Structure 1
Amino acid sequence: MSETRYELKVQDRTENGKQAMKKLRADGWVPVIFYSHGSEVVQLKMAYPDVREAIRSGERIFNIHIAGEQRRAVIKELQYHPVTEKVLHIDLHGVRLRDVVEIEVPLVIKGVPFGVKNEGGVLQHTIHELTVRCKGSDVPEHIELDVTGLRIGDAIHIRDIKSDVWTILEQGDVLLAIVQQQQKMEVETVETEESEFGLDEEEVSGEEKDDE
């Protein structure tokens, strides 16, 4: 995890209600609710460009200033518009560095497998994030998966990834990466209509003569 955390640019929010939220979004703001330990709930807002920048940062734990006090928070939920995919609402949860958190982190593939470079194989991987449990101070920026040693038929599962400070919550037998032999395209010979029906040129010519 980086020592300098990304700071969310939030402002206090007094607007409430459906119509007020609609106008808030039309003015370029995204409603934010900050939940912390106990029953603390703080209503905030962020400018939409700042929201996009924060998401693209790849950070998982953010600094946030509330009432002049610096806090730390994770994005617990993002609500998107079903058509435009713009962010409509953000839920933030306050965390302390000693707290145990469960959080999704990116899975990053490193290297080119031996089986791809030298054996004509292809690398298959479909999972791009994993959920980890750890202290707030130990949240990784990403989990790196080194695939350089994989030959054709070799695979990496979640159980193969070890750490002393965090635990992956998905099942250990989940496949993360595998090198497979490339599938060869089979060219099928298309039979001609004549061979399919057992007709040859002489038979066709004979039929034409009979018709005459």
Structure 2
Amino acid sequence: MSEHLLSVKKREGIGRGNSRRLRAQGMIPAVIYGKSGNCNFAVAERDFQMLLREVAGATAVITLNVEENQSIQALIHETQRDPLTDRFRHIDFLEVVAGESIHAHIPVHIVGEPIGVKTGGGLLDLVVHEVEVHCLPRNLPEFIEINVSALNVGDAVHLEDLPVLEGVHFDGEPDMVIVAVASPAKLEAATTTAEPEVEAEAE
């Protein structure tokens, strides 16, 4: 598992006024929750954006380097963005403790083009973009890769079909559909069925 570092600064003040001042200085208010207690931080917006590019959409354990030579391992739990500017307004981190199981949402990465799309006119439908797992931090996968090349129209990959990863347990119903190749006729029928409801709401 790759190591990802992020420098953070402790902040004493809280509230909207303090948060606005931080954002005006190019900082993002943040908080970490965990076994060591909750603590408020500020993260340089530029540093956080660089981290996201480095992680590239994967789930990763981040080492937060705090002042006074303190470091905390954490997951990015949630981010809030400004709906107008799309800039980050707040970040929630979740502390990770070595040797203790964690729950995380892992992105699904699709590889290949299904036979059913190439020759059968089917459409690839990624039903679930993330799967929930629990495992020790050292076993945390950055993403779940699914090769869909062999799928024909009507085929699907379920949770129970995902590759076995050492020390990783998938949470959810085994028959939950992750990705499928649907026929255009079925998708068109589903869209047509939904149309009257949309029109009724518009009235």
Counterpart of 1:175 in structure 2 is: 177
The one-letter code of the counterpart of 2:153 is: I
> Could you tell me how far apart the structure 2 residues matched to 1:100 and 1:143 are?
18
> Could you tell me how far apart the structure 1 residues matched to 2:170 and 2:116 are?
27
Cα distance, 1:135 vs. partner?
0.8
CA deviation digits over 1:86-108, x for unaligned, max 9?
22111222212311111111100
**RMSD value over aligned CA atoms?**
2.2
Q: Which runs of 5+ in 2 are unaligned?
A: 189-203
CA deviation digits over 1:60-113, x for unaligned, max 9?
210112330332111222223343332211122221231111111110011111
Normalised by the length of structure 2, the TM-score is: 0.79
Higher alpha-carbon Rg: 1
CA deviation digits over 1:104-140, x for unaligned, max 9?
1110011111222233322222321111111111110
1:32 and 2:33 are equivalent in the alignment: no
- Worse-matched range after superposition: 147-156 or 120-129: 120-129
The one-letter code of the counterpart of 1:32 is: A
1:107 and 2:108 are equivalent in the alignment: yes
Q: Indicate if the aligned counterparts of 1:6 and 1:59 stay in contact, CA closer than 8 A.
A: no
Q: Which runs of 5+ in 1 are unaligned?
A: 186-212
The one-letter code of the counterpart of 2:31 is: I
> Could you tell me how far apart the structure 2 residues matched to 1:90 and 1:180 are?
37
Counterpart of 1:23 in structure 2 is: 21
Counterpart of 1:98 in structure 2 is: 99
> Could you tell me how far apart the structure 1 residues matched to 2:127 and 2:85 are?
25
Cα distance, 1:59 vs. partner?
4.0
1:83 and 2:88 are equivalent in the alignment: no
Q: What is the percent sequence identity of the aligned residues?
A: 28
Of 31, 40, 50 in structure 2, the residue corresponding to residue 53 of structure 1 is 50
- Worse-matched range after superposition: 176-185 or 136-145: 176-185
Q: Indicate if the aligned counterparts of 1:60 and 1:141 stay in contact, CA closer than 8 A.
A: yes
Counterpart of 2:192 in structure 1 is: none
> Could you tell me how far apart the structure 2 residues matched to 1:52 and 1:170 are?
32
Normalised by the length of structure 1, the TM-score is: 0.76
Cα distance, 1:5 vs. partner?
1.2
CA deviation digits over 1:139-185, x for unaligned, max 9?
10100111111112211111222424212223222212222333499
> Could you tell me how far apart the structure 2 residues matched to 1:173 and 1:149 are?
19
Q: Indicate if the aligned counterparts of 2:96 and 2:137 stay in contact, CA closer than 8 A.
A: yes
Cα distance, 1:29 vs. partner?
0.7
Counterpart of 2:194 in structure 1 is: none
Alignment CA distance shift 1:69-1:155 (3 Å): same
The one-letter code of the counterpart of 1:43 is: N
> Could you tell me how far apart the structure 1 residues matched to 2:25 and 2:70 are?
27
> Could you tell me how far apart the structure 1 residues matched to 2:172 and 2:50 are?
29
> Could you tell me how far apart the structure 1 residues matched to 2:38 and 2:180 are?
45
Q: How many residues align?
A: 182
**What SS is found at the alignment partner of 2:3?**
coil
- Worse-matched range after superposition: 40-49 or 98-107: 40-49
- Worse-matched range after superposition: 117-126 or 137-146: 117-126
